[in-house]
Each structure stands twice: as structure tokens, then as C-alpha cells.
Structure 1
């Protein structure tokens, strides 16, 4: 069995380059792969956490076969899913998210099931939850 995650979320963003920059500077992702669309834009991106514990794929919200199947939250007028990421330093991440202008939906708090966490929306409306609770341990 691979030590890499086998479930990889895929998100669409209207401004993929700006989203990549925001996700890297705010949530700590690193660029693993950027695929040029042939016109100076991004066709596909893979972002990873430095420890290799998580990967996120993203693409621009464009009108193509895949884009018609998967819409961004701003196109839908809401979100149909959210992401949860286990982190060790929840307070530092919370401060970075606030400083980066994340729309805080649930402020940092103790969770009933253990640990601490918070939930925010990124600049294009995707909902992210972060917490110290690790369901694997």
C-alpha cells in the first residue's frame, strides 16, 4: 500500500493562478505540478503539503466537458462539499487564514469529539475545515 493519499480532492477556480498563490501562502501547500494550457494559463495543478500527507488538484473553471460536470461554488451559488485537513499547529494556521482574508465560518474552538478546529471559505467560496482531531489515531 502506498504512503501517499489515494483520495485526492479536485477543485475548480475562476482564477487558478491566484487560487494557487493563496492556497500555498495561506494553507501551506507547495506546487508539485503546474500544467500550462498553451495560452499562458494553467490547465491543471497539483498542490501538496510539504510532508506529502495531502494533495489537492485544481483547474480553472472553464466551459469544457469536465467543466460542465464540475462547477465552482461561485457558479453554483453555494458549496456542495467541504474539505477537512488535520494540522498540528491550528492556532498559527487560524491566524494565517484570518490575515489572508479567509471568510471565517466557524472560529477556532474545541470540538465535541476532541481537538480544536475552525472552518473558513477561501476567496472563491470553497469551504475548508482544519483541526487537530485526527480520526486515524
Structure 2
């Protein structure tokens, strides 16, 4: 049996952030389930073989366990997205209004990457370094 890890995030305005993530990073909608109140009950976005799950921040049993950076006042997680062309994604993220936290650069451990915050404060690390390359 193989295992896969999928980051899960909450957003105040999940519908808008789905559009933003697709525009800025190149995610594609795999499944989007609206909650009937203008929010998102559950969404799955893909980027190559990777996936991100997200939903609207809400006050329910599960929602109380996950806060947005805005509500928390801090960042508690930081997804790393492996891309073929970090410079292209950097330009797209900047054009989409990402707050660049760490400018694009060549990394000592290989690859090229940058860090940014999305409009709701989630920290994203994006780069061409693939820790799985050359492993089996």
C-alpha cells in the first residue's frame, strides 16, 4: 500500500482563493463542493500529481480545530510546491498579488525557489527542487 500526504487549508473566502491559487500557482479544480451559503464545503485542487484540499473557515466541530492565519495571527504550516519552472510561477504569483517573503533564488541544496504569502496569509514555498528526484 502506498501513502500520500495532502495539505488541507481553510480560507475566509474560499471561492475567491480557489481562483487565486489556480491563477497564481497553476492549480486545477478537481472537485469543488459548495456549502449552499456562498462558501466551500470541500475542494480538491491538483497540480501535477499533487493535491491540495481546502474549504471555507467555519464554526463547526472541525472548523474550530483549524484557523486561518488571519484568525490565528500567525502561520502554522507552510506547503512546499514542486514546479518545473520556479521563475514562471514567481512571476505569476507576483502578478496575482502574492506578498513575496523570500525573493526567487538558487538554493544551496539544489533547484530554484521563493516563498510568498497568499492574500489570506498562508505561507507558500515554491521551487524546482524535487526531493524525490533520483530516489526509488
TM-score with structure 2 setting the length:
0.93
Hey, what does 1:61 align to over in structure 2?
57
1:25-84 residue CA offsets vs partner (Å, 9 max, x unmatched):
1110111111121334321111111x3x11000010111111100101100101011010
Superposition map of 1:1-137 within 5 A: 1=1, 6-49=4-47, 51=48, 53-137=49-133
Displacement of 1:15 after TM fit? 0.2
SS in 1 for 2:58: coil
Counterpart-to-counterpart distance in 1, 2:105 and 2:18? 27
Aligned length: 133
- Structure 2: state its 5+ residue gaps: none
- Structure 1: state its 5+ residue gaps: none
**Root-mean-square deviation (Å):** 1.3
Counterpart-to-counterpart distance in 2, 1:87 and 1:60? 26
Counterpart-to-counterpart distance in 1, 2:117 and 2:74? 11
